[in-house]
Amino acid sequence: MARTESVLSIFLASPGDVTDERNRLGDAIREWNRTWARNLGVRLEVIRWEDDAYPGVGVDAQDVINQQLPQDYDLFVGIMWSRFGTPTGRAGSGTAEEFDRALQMNRRGLGNPEILFYFKDTPIPPSKIDSEQLMKLQEFKQRLKIEGVLHWDFADSDQFERLVILHITKHVQSWRHIPRSTTAILTNFSDSPKADRHSMTMQSEVTSEEDDGLLDLIETFEERIGEVTSIVNRLSDAQNELASKTVQGTAELQALQAAPEGATAKQARRLIAKVADEMMQFAARTEAEIPLFHAAMNDSVAALTKAAALSVAFGSEQTQTAKTAALALLSSLPTARESMIGFKATTVALPRITKELNQAKRKQESVLDALIAELESAERLLTEAIGVMDTLLGGAN
pLDDT value of position 32:
84
Architecture of domain 214-393 in this structure? Up-down Bundle (1.20)
What dihedral do alpha carbons 288, 291, 293, 299 form, nearest 10°? -150
Distance CA 41, CA 170 (A): 15
Q: Are 386 and 330 in contact (CB under 8 A)?
A: yes
Q: Are 309 and 237 in contact (CB under 8 A)?
A: no
pLDDT value of position 395:
47
Distance CA 323, CA 315 (A): 13
Digitized pLDDT (tens) for each residue of the chain, 397 residues in all? 566 778 889 999 999 899 999 999 998 898 888 877 777 778 899 988 776 665 777 777 777 777 767 778 889 999 999 999 989 888 899 999 999 999 998 888 766 788 999 999 988 888 888 999 999 999 999 999 999 998 999 888 988 988 888 888 878 776 655 443 333 333 333 344 444 434 444 443 333 344 677 788 889 999 999 999 999 999 999 999 998 888 888 787 777 666 656 657 787 788 889 989 999 999 999 999 999 999 999 899 888 887 877 776 556 677 788 888 899 999 999 999 999 999 999 888 888 888 998 999 999 999 999 999 999 999 988 998 888 778 766 644 4
pLDDT value of position 212:
74
Distance CA 34, CA 37 (A): 6
Q: Are 8 and 42 in contact (CB under 8 A)?
A: yes
pLDDT value of position 185:
35
> 2-200 sits in which CATH class?
alpha beta
> 75 pairs with which residues across the strands?
10, 114
pLDDT value of position 271:
85
Q: Residue ranges per domain, the chain?
A: 2-200, 214-393
Distance CA 104, CA 175 (A): 19
Task: List Cα–Cα distances, 200 to 8, 174, 231, in angstroms.
Answer: 8, 18, 46
pLDDT value of position 266:
80
Beta carbons within 10 angstroms of residue 153's beta carbon: 14
3-state SS record for the chain: CEEEEEEEEEEEECCCCCHHHHHHHHHHHHHHHHHHHHHHCEEEEEECHHHHCCCCCCCCHHHHHHHHCCCCCCEEEEEECCCCCCCCCCCCCHHHHHHHHHHHHHHHCCCCCEEEEEEECCCCCHHHCCHHHHHHHHHHHHHHHHHCCCEEEECCHHHHHHHHHHHHHHHHHHHCCCCCCHHHHHHHHHHCHHHHHHCEEEEEECCCCCCCCHHHHHHHHHHHHHHHHHHHHHHHHHHHHHHHHHHHHHHHHHHHHHCCCCCCHHHHHHHHHHHHHHHHHHHHHHHHHHHHHHHHHHHHHHHHHHHHHHHCCCCCHHHHHHHHHHHHHHHHHHHHHHHHHHHHHHHHHCCCCCHHHHHHHHHHHHHHHHHHHHHHHHHHHHHHHHHHHHHHHCCCC
Distance CA 93, CA 65 (A): 13
Beta strands at 75-80 and 2-13: parallel, antiparallel or unpaired: parallel
> 10 pairs with which residues across the strands?
46, 75
